[in-house]
Amino acid sequence: MPETAINQEDLDLHWMEEDAELGIPSEGIYCKNLDELSKYISDVKNTVVKINLDNQPALKQIPPVLGECIRLEKLDISHTEITEIPDFLFSLPNLRSLSCCCNRLSCPPSGFSKAKKLENLHIRINEGWAFPDEITALPELKNLNIDLYKNIALPESIGNLEKLETLTLSLKYKGGDCEPLPKSLSGHDALKKVSVSSFFNKEKTYDLDRTAEMLASCPKLESLLLSGLKIEGGHEALSKLAGLKELKLEHLHIDGNVFTMLPALSKLEKLIIWGSEFKITKMPDIFESLPKLRIFSFSGNFVRDLPPSLYSLKNLTELEIDSAGIAVIDKKIGELKNLKKFHFQDNVLETLPESIFTLPNLAILDIEDNLIVQKELMKINENLIHLHKKGQRVAFFYKGQGVNYKIKRLRSVNSTDETDIDTYYKYCLEAVSEDPHAIQYVEKDKLKNNQHYYAALCAAAVGKSCFALEYINIETLGHSSYFSVCMQAAKSSNIGHIFKRIRDDLLTDIEYTKVCIEAALHNNSADFLSQINIKRFSRADYERICWVSILHNPATISKVDNPSNELRKLAERQNR
């Protein structure tokens, strides 16, 4: 047990399990039972200000001693086994911060109204809950972070939180779209930051136009984060948010080039655009409209070139361009005298301009996963040694040169290039052989008159990894070839993890039955049989598939719909 002291203010009893597969050791303090946990708290109850019990397995109920911690200001009880939160917790006289994301809570806590000083709240809305209305009456609440495991709209009374500065919504339910923000937030005098992120279903539709219209009326709004959403109506609505200082757009399905609306946001200081879902192929020359920009991060879209105005950002301190196909850095990079961090991972750089070593504030140089040869790396290192002798230390990261070269070459060939079809097919095949997920980078238009080439690429991709099914364009492939690609994917032992990705509506009954049987012969997932569409089969055909599945993997008996005695006996025999 750790040493405790009467005047201890910070008690950290969080726990993290070991992850043997990732090589991550356990971390924190593991309490055997509630009595041991209570003893830790009791020893410091008169002085403790902050208690962290995140993921502590011994916390199955709130110990009464917590109610005696009269100086306690910050408490984290998330990811624990508690089933209820007693009212006395909210009566703690100095409680200002509470994190209570607990999936075993059967109903919302009822004592929020007693937490008169609460400023920060992180809560999980579980399935079956209504929104706890008491939250909207907290007079001092500034930061509200909600994990939504149920698709519900926030109440209009949320606008009653007069001091609310930050609203963070994490959408963790699997079905349905994203509910709009309450109209009561229009013109909110304190709201500064709004974040809406979808974690499971990346296709949740979000009405950006309505949101932007409402947030534009909030005089102090300065930060917006949108992640994992399908934006309705395109990106133009963002131009209404002229007061933004920070804009983060991650993995959005959105029409048009989002850069075209940025000139309207002249106050931006931080801009982050991540994710191949944007499908951006060119970065417009608009950065002269963003003179205050300090941090720019862009990733996942092959734009190949950087616009000249990027080098005019005199206030820029961090420049991060990853997976963008950048081959050349202009010597004008030397004009960014405030630049501290140069981060260009996973591009196609072969050299760096000498002017980059004249940057007086450069502290991080990260060029991992490019195409820089050893001789050039030695030259870069010599320049950094010279800077070090002058008192300027630069952290240098350079591993992985030449990695995924064939994928980068494929992505560098755009639809307007005059590469002949046979050469292009060769590039595609080599890239798919390097990584089957490269099938997503194949230009469909180049192969539209050579469907057999695309079919061969798809078969090669799923043959290496059935997960490549997710990136196949069925329209380009054609229904006639789809069956053979599905049969190839079904030969993977991992097919049970992705079988729902197979479009059974594009297969005849006989074809779908064959794919199911092929998958049953190779699958290693116990959940496989729950992923097939049993409505497509007669009972006899369904049991034939189950028979094959159980014969190969007895654990799949657990997902059989109304298993017969014969199937149960087969599973028992196979388990012996």
d(CA 37, CA 29): 10
Give the chain's domain count: 2
Range of the domain at 115: 1-141
Taking the CA atoms of residue 98, residue 104, residue 108 and residue 113 in that order, the dihedral angle to the nearest 10 degrees is -30
What is the pLDDT, as a whole number, of residue 479? 85
Residue 203 maps to a domain: no
In the chain, the amino acid numbered 231 is I
Closest CA to 99 of 153, 31, 49, 53: 53
Please report the pLDDT score of residue 570 as a whole number: 94
Q: How far is CA 143 from the centre of its chain?
A: 22
Residue 415 pLDDT greater than 60, yes or no: no
Q: Which of 141, 166, 183 is the last residue of a domain?
A: 141
Strand 27-28 vs strand 15-16: parallel, antiparallel, or unpaired? antiparallel
Q: Assess contact for 150 and 175: CB atoms under 8 A.
A: no
User: Which distant-in-sequence residues (6+ apart) come within 8 Å of 50 by Cβ?
Assistant: 9, 10, 11, 72, 73, 74, 75
Does 200 map to a domain?
A: no
51-66 residue pLDDT tens: 999 999 999 999 999 9
Confirm if 63 and 83 have CB atoms less than 8 A apart.
Answer: no
Can you tell me the mean pLDDT for 470-496? 92
Q: Is residue 81 part of a domain?
A: yes
pLDDT at residue number 21: 67
> Can you give the pLDDT at residue 1?
44
Q: Is the dihedral of CA 440, 442, 447, 453 positive or negative?
A: negative
Q: Residue 4: which pLDDT band, with cuts at 50, 70 and 90?
A: very low
Q: Which amino acid is at 326?
A: I
R_g of the chain computed on alpha carbons:
28
Model confidence pLDDT, tens digit, residues 147-157: 999 999 999 99
CA-wise closest residue to 88 among 67, 109, 108 = 67
On whether residue 555 sits in a domain, the answer given is yes
510 part of a folded domain:
yes
Alpha carbons 572 and 280: distance in angstroms, whole number: 55
Tell me what the mean pLDDT of segment 22-32 comes to: 88
β-bridge mates for residue 167, sequence order: 144, 194
Give tens-digit pLDDT for 209-254. Answer: 999 999 999 999 999 999 999 987 668 889 999 999 999 999 998 8
Hey, what are 525's tokens?
Answer: 């997932």
What's residue 234's pLDDT? Answer: 67
Instruction: Tell me the pLDDT band of 3, cut-offs 50, 70 and 90.
Output: very low
Please say which residue of 123, 141, 159 terminates a domain.
Answer: 141
Give the CA distances from residue 289 to residues 238, 251, 265, in Å, rounded to whole numbers and listed in that order: 15, 24, 8
Please name the residue ranges forming H helices in 133-245. 208-215
CATH of the domain at 110: 3.80.10.10
Using a 10 angstrom Cβ sphere, with 0-12 exposed, 13-18 middle and 19 or more buried, the burial of residue 1 is exposed
Please tell me the predicted confidence (pLDDT) of residue 447: 82
| Residues near 18 by beta carbon (within 8 Å), at least 6 away in sequence | 24, 25, 26
Measured CA angle at 518 (ends 515, 524), to 5 deg: 115
Counting every residue written for the chain, the total comes to 576
Which of 92, 126, 141 represents a domain boundary (last residue)?
141
Residue 69, in any domain of the structure: yes
Label residue 516 left, alpha or beta by phi (over 0 means left) and psi (-120 to 50 means alpha). alpha
